[in-house]
Protein backbone atom coordinates (compact mmCIF):
# COMPACT_ATOMS: atom_id res chain seq x y z
CA UNK A 1 0.00 0.00 0.00
CA UNK A 2 1.24 3.50 -0.75
CA UNK A 3 2.00 5.96 1.99
CA UNK A 4 -1.08 8.04 1.21
CA UNK A 5 -3.09 4.90 0.50
CA UNK A 6 -3.24 4.21 4.24
CA UNK A 7 -5.68 7.10 4.60
CA UNK A 8 -8.32 5.37 2.47
CA UNK A 9 -9.24 2.90 5.19
CA UNK A 10 -9.91 5.83 7.56
CA UNK A 11 -12.33 7.63 5.23
CA UNK A 12 -15.47 5.99 6.61
CA UNK A 13 -14.61 6.99 10.15
CA UNK A 14 -14.37 10.76 9.52
CA UNK A 15 -17.33 12.80 10.71
CA UNK A 16 -17.17 16.40 9.54
CA UNK A 17 -19.35 19.12 11.09
CA UNK A 18 -22.79 19.48 9.50
CA UNK A 19 -22.35 23.23 9.11
CA UNK A 20 -19.30 23.04 6.87
CA UNK A 21 -19.31 25.87 4.28
CA UNK A 22 -20.90 24.97 0.93
CA UNK A 23 -18.43 23.04 -1.21
CA UNK A 24 -18.38 21.88 -4.80
CA UNK A 25 -16.32 18.84 -3.86
CA UNK A 26 -17.94 15.70 -2.51
CA UNK A 27 -18.00 14.63 1.11
CA UNK A 28 -15.52 11.86 0.20
CA UNK A 29 -13.01 14.41 -0.99
CA UNK A 30 -13.62 16.66 2.01
CA UNK A 31 -12.95 13.74 4.34
CA UNK A 32 -9.75 12.92 2.48
CA UNK A 33 -8.63 16.56 2.87
CA UNK A 34 -9.33 16.32 6.58
CA UNK A 35 -7.30 13.12 6.86
CA UNK A 36 -4.37 14.65 5.01
CA UNK A 37 -4.35 17.61 7.39
CA UNK A 38 -4.79 15.43 10.45
CA UNK A 39 -2.38 12.61 9.65
CA UNK A 40 0.00 13.49 6.84
CA UNK A 41 0.92 17.17 6.57
CA UNK A 42 3.30 18.99 8.88
CA UNK A 43 3.22 22.63 7.75
CA UNK A 44 7.01 22.78 7.63
CA UNK A 45 6.84 23.75 3.97
CA UNK A 46 4.07 25.62 2.19
CA UNK A 47 0.52 24.25 2.22
CA UNK A 48 -1.28 25.65 -0.81
CA UNK A 49 -4.86 25.49 -1.93
CA UNK A 50 -5.56 26.81 -5.42
CA UNK A 51 -9.28 27.43 -5.86
CA UNK A 52 -10.75 27.72 -2.36
CA UNK A 53 -14.16 28.93 -3.54
CA UNK A 54 -16.51 29.44 -0.62
CA UNK A 55 -14.11 27.65 1.70
CA UNK A 56 -15.63 24.16 1.97
CA UNK A 57 -12.41 22.39 0.97
CA UNK A 58 -10.29 24.91 2.92
CA UNK A 59 -12.36 24.28 6.03
CA UNK A 60 -12.00 20.48 5.89
CA UNK A 61 -8.24 20.73 5.43
CA UNK A 62 -7.82 23.40 8.12
CA UNK A 63 -9.87 21.35 10.57
CA UNK A 64 -7.56 18.39 9.96
CA UNK A 65 -4.51 20.60 10.53
CA UNK A 66 -5.98 21.92 13.76
CA UNK A 67 -6.50 18.33 14.97
CA UNK A 68 -2.99 17.32 13.92
CA UNK A 69 -0.45 16.51 16.62
CA UNK A 70 2.40 17.99 14.56
CA UNK A 71 1.01 21.05 12.76
CA UNK A 72 1.98 24.22 14.61
CA UNK A 73 -0.61 26.97 14.13
CA UNK A 74 1.93 29.61 15.07
CA UNK A 75 4.36 28.80 12.28
CA UNK A 76 2.46 26.69 9.74
CA UNK A 77 0.59 28.51 6.99
CA UNK A 78 -2.21 27.43 4.69
CA UNK A 79 -2.28 29.61 1.57
CA UNK A 80 -5.70 30.02 -0.06
CA UNK A 81 -5.89 31.35 -3.63
CA UNK A 82 -9.10 32.35 -5.37
CA UNK A 83 -10.75 35.26 -7.13
CA UNK A 84 -13.18 35.30 -4.18
CA UNK A 85 -15.70 36.97 -6.40
CA UNK A 86 -18.25 35.89 -8.96
CA UNK A 87 -18.44 37.06 -12.54
CA UNK A 88 -17.84 35.99 -16.10
CA UNK A 89 -14.87 33.65 -16.47
CA UNK A 90 -14.26 33.21 -12.74
CA UNK A 91 -15.73 29.69 -12.42
CA UNK A 92 -17.06 30.81 -9.03
CA UNK A 93 -20.70 30.30 -8.14
CA UNK A 94 -23.07 32.54 -6.17
CA UNK A 95 -23.46 29.59 -3.79
CA UNK A 96 -20.12 30.68 -2.34
CA UNK A 97 -21.94 33.59 -0.68
CA UNK A 98 -23.15 32.65 2.81
CA UNK A 99 -26.68 33.62 1.73
CA UNK A 100 -26.43 31.30 -1.28
CA UNK A 101 -26.73 34.16 -3.77
CA UNK A 102 -25.20 37.53 -4.64
CA UNK A 103 -26.35 40.38 -2.38
CA UNK A 104 -28.97 42.77 -3.68
CA UNK A 105 -26.45 45.64 -3.82
CA UNK A 106 -24.64 43.73 -6.59
CA UNK A 107 -21.38 43.24 -4.67
CA UNK A 108 -19.58 40.43 -6.46
CA UNK A 109 -17.05 39.63 -3.71
CA UNK A 110 -17.59 36.72 -1.32
CA UNK A 111 -14.29 37.33 0.45
CA UNK A 112 -15.92 38.64 3.65
CA UNK A 113 -18.20 35.59 3.73
CA UNK A 114 -15.14 33.35 3.28
CA UNK A 115 -13.31 35.11 6.12
CA UNK A 116 -16.29 34.85 8.40
CA UNK A 117 -16.76 31.14 7.80
CA UNK A 118 -13.06 30.36 8.12
CA UNK A 119 -12.78 32.52 11.22
CA UNK A 120 -11.47 29.77 13.55
CA UNK A 121 -8.54 29.19 11.20
CA UNK A 122 -7.65 32.75 10.21
CA UNK A 123 -4.51 32.81 12.41
CA UNK A 124 -2.84 30.28 10.13
CA UNK A 125 -4.63 31.10 6.88
CA UNK A 126 -3.03 33.39 4.30
CA UNK A 127 -5.54 34.59 1.74
CA UNK A 128 -4.51 35.56 -1.79
CA UNK A 129 -7.54 37.21 -3.40
CA UNK A 130 -7.60 37.93 -7.13
CA UNK A 131 -6.44 36.38 -10.38
CA UNK A 132 -3.76 33.82 -9.58
CA UNK A 133 -1.52 35.28 -12.29
CA UNK A 134 -1.50 38.49 -10.20
CA UNK A 135 -1.59 37.08 -6.68
CA UNK A 136 1.17 34.46 -7.04
CA UNK A 137 4.82 35.43 -6.98
CA UNK A 138 6.87 34.31 -10.01
CA UNK A 139 10.06 34.55 -7.92
CA UNK A 140 8.81 32.41 -5.04
CA UNK A 141 10.72 29.13 -5.11
CA UNK A 142 9.86 28.01 -1.57
CA UNK A 143 9.13 24.27 -1.44
CA UNK A 144 5.51 23.19 -1.35
CA UNK A 145 4.51 20.33 0.93
CA UNK A 146 0.90 20.19 -0.20
CA UNK A 147 -0.82 21.43 -3.35
CA UNK A 148 -4.59 21.20 -3.80
CA UNK A 149 -5.38 22.11 -7.40
CA UNK A 150 -9.03 23.05 -7.89
CA UNK A 151 -8.43 26.04 -10.13
CA UNK A 152 -6.99 24.78 -13.41
CA UNK A 153 -10.22 25.03 -15.39
CA UNK A 154 -8.49 26.68 -18.37
CA UNK A 155 -5.15 26.09 -20.07
CA UNK A 156 -4.19 29.69 -19.19
CA UNK A 157 -4.60 29.05 -15.48
CA UNK A 158 -2.95 25.64 -15.69
CA UNK A 159 0.09 27.35 -17.15
CA UNK A 160 0.34 29.52 -14.04
CA UNK A 161 -0.13 26.49 -11.80
CA UNK A 162 2.59 24.55 -13.58
CA UNK A 163 5.07 27.45 -13.87
CA UNK A 164 4.73 28.75 -10.33
CA UNK A 165 3.61 25.81 -8.21
CA UNK A 166 4.48 22.42 -9.78
CA UNK A 167 8.08 23.64 -10.00
CA UNK A 168 8.14 23.90 -6.19
CA UNK A 169 7.26 20.26 -5.55
CA UNK A 170 9.89 18.09 -3.88
CA UNK A 171 10.08 14.40 -2.97
CA UNK A 172 7.46 13.95 -0.25
CA UNK A 173 5.13 16.69 -1.61
CA UNK A 174 1.48 15.70 -1.89
CA UNK A 175 -0.73 16.85 -4.78
CA UNK A 176 -4.50 16.61 -5.18
CA UNK A 177 -5.95 17.18 -8.63
CA UNK A 178 -9.61 18.10 -8.33
CA UNK A 179 -11.72 17.64 -11.48
CA UNK A 180 -9.59 14.76 -12.69
CA UNK A 181 -12.89 13.33 -13.94
CA UNK A 182 -13.31 16.37 -16.19
CA UNK A 183 -12.54 15.36 -19.81
CA UNK A 184 -12.46 19.02 -20.85
CA UNK A 185 -9.33 19.56 -18.76
CA UNK A 186 -6.91 17.18 -20.53
CA UNK A 187 -3.89 19.20 -19.33
CA UNK A 188 -4.48 17.63 -15.91
CA UNK A 189 -4.21 14.20 -17.48
CA UNK A 190 -1.25 14.53 -19.86
CA UNK A 191 0.78 16.49 -17.31
CA UNK A 192 0.17 13.70 -14.80
CA UNK A 193 1.33 11.23 -17.47
CA UNK A 194 4.56 13.20 -17.80
CA UNK A 195 5.04 13.14 -14.02
CA UNK A 196 4.43 9.39 -13.63
CA UNK A 197 8.12 8.41 -13.33
CA UNK A 198 8.49 10.81 -10.39
CA UNK A 199 5.29 10.24 -8.45
CA UNK A 200 3.33 7.54 -6.68
CA UNK A 201 -0.43 7.61 -7.16
CA UNK A 202 -2.13 7.16 -3.79
CA UNK A 203 -4.73 4.71 -5.02
CA UNK A 204 -7.99 4.93 -6.97
CA UNK A 205 -9.18 8.52 -7.43
CA UNK A 206 -11.54 9.65 -4.68
CA UNK A 207 -14.55 10.68 -6.74
CA UNK A 208 -13.06 13.35 -9.01
CA UNK A 209 -9.78 13.76 -7.12
CA UNK A 210 -6.50 12.10 -8.00
CA UNK A 211 -3.96 12.15 -5.17
CA UNK A 212 -0.27 11.52 -5.57
CA UNK A 213 3.00 11.90 -3.74
CA UNK A 214 6.22 13.03 -5.39
CA UNK A 215 8.85 10.34 -4.90
CA UNK A 216 11.79 11.64 -6.98
CA UNK A 217 12.97 15.11 -7.97
CA UNK A 218 11.11 16.18 -11.11
CA UNK A 219 13.59 17.14 -13.86
CA UNK A 220 13.47 20.78 -14.93
CA UNK A 221 13.02 19.77 -18.52
CA UNK A 222 9.84 17.83 -17.72
CA UNK A 223 8.44 20.79 -15.78
CA UNK A 224 9.33 23.15 -18.60
CA UNK A 225 7.61 20.98 -21.21
CA UNK A 226 4.50 20.82 -19.03
CA UNK A 227 4.30 24.55 -18.41
CA UNK A 228 5.13 25.47 -22.00
CA UNK A 229 2.58 22.95 -23.26
CA UNK A 230 5.38 21.57 -25.41
CA UNK A 231 4.18 17.98 -25.82
CA UNK A 232 2.98 17.10 -29.31
CA UNK A 233 -0.53 15.84 -29.96
CA UNK A 234 0.72 12.25 -30.25
CA UNK A 235 2.79 12.57 -27.08
CA UNK A 236 -0.18 13.87 -25.14
CA UNK A 237 -2.30 10.89 -26.18
CA UNK A 238 0.47 8.51 -25.11
CA UNK A 239 0.85 10.29 -21.77
CA UNK A 240 -2.87 9.96 -21.12
CA UNK A 241 -2.70 6.27 -22.08
CA UNK A 242 0.01 5.83 -19.47
CA UNK A 243 -2.32 7.27 -16.84
CA UNK A 244 -5.12 4.99 -18.07
CA UNK A 245 -2.88 2.03 -17.24
CA UNK A 246 -2.72 3.21 -13.63
CA UNK A 247 -6.27 4.25 -12.83
CA UNK A 248 -9.56 2.50 -13.21
CA UNK A 249 -12.77 3.01 -11.20
CA UNK A 250 -12.70 5.61 -8.48
CA UNK A 251 -12.72 4.57 -4.82
CA UNK A 252 -16.53 4.76 -4.62
CA UNK A 253 -16.95 2.73 -7.81
CA UNK A 254 -18.99 5.43 -9.53
CA UNK A 255 -16.53 6.89 -12.05
CA UNK A 256 -14.89 4.77 -14.79
CA UNK A 257 -11.64 6.66 -15.26
CA UNK A 258 -10.42 4.68 -18.26
CA UNK A 259 -13.40 5.95 -20.26
CA UNK A 260 -13.15 9.46 -18.83
CA UNK A 261 -9.50 9.63 -19.87
CA UNK A 262 -10.35 8.33 -23.33
CA UNK A 263 -12.78 11.24 -23.71
CA UNK A 264 -10.04 13.57 -22.47
CA UNK A 265 -7.99 12.40 -25.47
CA UNK A 266 -10.83 13.57 -27.71
CA UNK A 267 -10.48 17.00 -26.09
CA UNK A 268 -6.73 17.01 -26.78
CA UNK A 269 -7.66 16.60 -30.44
CA UNK A 270 -10.49 19.14 -30.21
CA UNK A 271 -8.30 21.87 -28.71
CA UNK A 272 -5.74 21.10 -31.40
CA UNK A 273 -8.37 21.79 -34.08
CA UNK A 274 -8.46 18.11 -35.10
CA UNK A 275 -12.22 17.82 -35.00
CA UNK A 276 -12.38 14.69 -37.10
CA UNK A 277 -10.03 12.79 -34.78
CA UNK A 278 -11.82 14.21 -31.76
CA UNK A 279 -15.16 12.92 -32.91
CA UNK A 280 -13.68 9.62 -34.03
CA UNK A 281 -12.37 9.03 -30.50
CA UNK A 282 -15.52 10.32 -28.82
CA UNK A 283 -18.15 8.50 -30.86
CA UNK A 284 -16.79 5.13 -29.74
CA UNK A 285 -17.58 6.19 -26.18
CA UNK A 286 -21.18 7.19 -26.72
CA UNK A 287 -22.36 3.79 -25.48
CA UNK A 288 -20.49 4.16 -22.23
CA UNK A 289 -23.16 4.19 -19.53
CA UNK A 290 -21.42 6.76 -17.29
CA UNK A 291 -20.33 9.12 -20.06
CA UNK A 292 -23.63 9.07 -21.90
CA UNK A 293 -25.41 9.88 -18.63
CA UNK A 294 -23.06 12.62 -17.44
CA UNK A 295 -21.31 14.02 -20.52
CA UNK A 296 -23.96 14.25 -23.24
CA UNK A 297 -23.03 17.93 -23.69
CA UNK A 298 -19.40 16.93 -24.37
CA UNK A 299 -20.45 14.55 -27.15
CA UNK A 300 -22.65 17.22 -28.65
CA UNK A 301 -19.84 19.78 -28.56
CA UNK A 302 -17.39 17.42 -30.27
CA UNK A 303 -19.88 16.22 -32.87
CA UNK A 304 -20.96 19.78 -33.69
CA UNK A 305 -17.34 20.90 -34.11
CA UNK A 306 -16.74 17.98 -36.45
CA UNK A 307 -19.82 18.78 -38.52
CA UNK A 308 -18.94 22.47 -38.70
CA UNK A 309 -15.56 21.39 -39.96
CA UNK A 310 -17.27 19.87 -42.98
CA UNK A 311 -17.54 16.32 -41.64
CA UNK A 312 -20.68 14.32 -41.79
CA UNK A 313 -21.24 12.60 -38.52
CA UNK A 314 -24.43 10.93 -39.61
CA UNK A 315 -25.32 11.19 -36.00
CA UNK A 316 -28.90 12.27 -35.86
CA UNK A 317 -29.65 8.78 -34.68
CA UNK A 318 -26.83 9.04 -32.17
CA UNK A 319 -28.25 12.20 -30.63
CA UNK A 320 -31.64 10.57 -30.47
CA UNK A 321 -30.03 7.59 -28.77
CA UNK A 322 -28.30 9.80 -26.24
CA UNK A 323 -31.37 11.86 -25.44
CA UNK A 324 -33.47 8.72 -25.10
CA UNK A 325 -30.92 7.29 -22.71
CA UNK A 326 -30.91 10.53 -20.79
CA UNK A 327 -34.67 10.80 -20.62
CA UNK A 328 -34.94 7.20 -19.53
CA UNK A 329 -33.06 7.82 -16.29
- In the complex, which residues of this chain contact ligand SAM (CB under 6 A)? 23-25, 51-54, 56-57, 81-83, 90-92, 131-132, 150-151, 153, 157
**CB of 134: closest distance to ligand SAM in angstroms?**
8
**CB of 163: closest distance to ligand SAM in angstroms?**
13
As a whole number of angstroms, the distance between CA 4 and CA 213 comes to 7
Q: Which residue is nearest to ligand SAM (CB)?
A: 53
Task: Give the nearer residue to ligand SAM in terms of CB position, either 63 or 285.
Answer: 63
Task: Give the nearer residue to ligand SAM in terms of CB position, either 54 or 183.
Answer: 54
Task: Give the nearer residue to ligand SAM in terms of CB position, either 78 or 151.
Answer: 151
**CB of 226: closest distance to ligand SAM in angstroms?**
18
As a whole number of angstroms, the distance between CA 13 and CA 15 comes to 6
Task: Give the nearer residue to ligand SAM in terms of CB position, either 62 or 268.
Answer: 62
* Nearest Cα to Cα of residue 56 among 29, 90, 37: 29
As a whole number of angstroms, the distance between CA 3 and CA 88 comes to 40
**CB of 176: closest distance to ligand SAM in angstroms?**
10
**CB of 189: closest distance to ligand SAM in angstroms?**
17
Angle between helices 56-66 and 27-39 (to 10 degrees): 30
Task: Give the nearer residue to ligand SAM in terms of CB position, either 157 or 281.
Answer: 157
- Is 328 exposed, middle or buried (CB count within 10 Å of its CB: 0-12, 13-18, 19+)? exposed
Maximum alpha-carbon separation in the chain: 64
Task: Give the nearer residue to ligand SAM in terms of CB position, either 55 or 76.
Answer: 55
Task: Give the nearer residue to ligand SAM in terms of CB position, either 132 or 223.
Answer: 132
DSSP per-residue string spanning 5-20? GGGGGGGGG----TTP
**CB of 121: closest distance to ligand SAM in angstroms?**
14
* Nearest Cα to Cα of residue 193 among 170, 222, 219, 161: 222
Task: Give the nearer residue to ligand SAM in terms of CB position, either 96 or 279.
Answer: 96
As a whole number of angstroms, the distance between CA 218 and CA 93 comes to 35
**CB of 108: closest distance to ligand SAM in angstroms?**
11
**CB of 250: closest distance to ligand SAM in angstroms?**
18
What are the angstrom distances between the C-alpha of 216 and each of 163, 193, 243?
A: 19, 15, 18
* Nearest Cα to Cα of residue 129 among 53, 74, 33: 53
For the chain, list the strands marked E by DSSP.
46-50, 78-82, 125-129, 144-149, 169-177, 199-201, 210-214
CB 92 within 8 A of CB 53: yes
Contact residues for 205 (Cβ-Cβ < 8 A; gap 6+)? 180, 181, 211, 247, 250, 251, 255, 257
Amino acid sequence: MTNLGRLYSMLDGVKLPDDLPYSQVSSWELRFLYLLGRHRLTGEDRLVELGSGGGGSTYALALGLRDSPVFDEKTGRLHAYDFFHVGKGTFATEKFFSAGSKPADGDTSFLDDFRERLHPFLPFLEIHAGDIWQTSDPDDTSPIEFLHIDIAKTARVFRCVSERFLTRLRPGSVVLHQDFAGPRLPWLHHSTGALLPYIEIAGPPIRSTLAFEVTKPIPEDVLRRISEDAFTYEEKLKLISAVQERVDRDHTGGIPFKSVLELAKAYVAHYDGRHKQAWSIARKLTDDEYLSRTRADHFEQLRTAYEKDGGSAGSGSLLTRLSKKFAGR
